[in-house]
Homo-oligomer: A and B are copies of this chain.
Amino acid sequence: MYQTVKPKNDSVQSDCGVCPIKRRAVCAYCEAQDLVELEKIKSYKTYAPGEMIIWTGDDMRFVGSIVSGVASLSQTMEDGRRQMVGLLLPSDFVGRPGRAKAVFDVEAATEVTICRFDRKPFEQLLVKLPHLSGRMLEMSLDELDAAREWMLVLGRKNAREKIASLLSIIARREGELHKKPLRDGAEFDIKLTREAMADYLGLTLETVSRQINALKKDGVISLQGKRHVKICDCVRLMMETGNDDDGGMVI
């Protein structure tokens, strides 16, 4: 478990014109007049690392977009077993229009800033603004594909393949962000603890630790500290994922 940190309530002000995620978020297709409507119901909030953004069962007063940082979407069983079901990165959508109660926990893995929209009026805008609902549908379908890809990882891959899959996904997304293709020597920070990685992969944290160090020992990756990874052999990493094609990952 993570430590729980007191929420910061500092409201940030920002302008859609300089928003870092404006080309990929739910509002990406909105035009100036649409944005005016959205701005009326918009507020920003920043969460500290480890802070719970939403608890399962909470009333969902807002939905929104991750502006910066990394959050996790997860489910917990009575006895404490936990499964992460989504990794929320900048531009990803939080919350479910049409649902009043949260069915998943959302937790800030790093410091996270969210552009929040009041849920009820947002739902009305979904009906009113085709640009908004169109992008919403597109994003939902992409997430659905990503979830299904991940089901293969959870159901059929062994521990080593799971770790390789996670690393390749993080590396790929990092690459997208910096517009660099994935290549030997690519470096990035894993913004997750071993435990969070285990929760994503359906493993124990001990197994995660062992397999990461095995990949290091085999020269597929190298580590600086615990969280900073360099991909030594990119093709090898893709082979280790067990995937036939290396372009098929949807996340």
Contacts and interface: CB of A to CB of B under 8 A. Distances in A.
Contacts of A103: 145, 248, 250
A77 B242 contact: yes
A78 B244 CA distance: 6
Interface string A81-99: 1110110000000001110
Given A77-B243, A77-B244, A242-B77, A104 B148 contact: yes
A140 interface: yes
Nearest to A82: B156
A73 interface: yes
A77 B245 CA distance: 10
Interface in A132-167: 133-134, 136-138, 140-141, 143-145, 147-152, 154-156
B244 A156 contact: no
Nearest to A243: B77
Contacts of A243: 77
Contacts of A148: 73, 75, 85-86, 104, 147
A202 interface: yes
A67 interface: no
Contacts of A244: 77-78
A77 B201 contact: no
Contacts of A79: 242
A156 B77 contact: yes
Contact of A147 (B97, B147, B242): B147
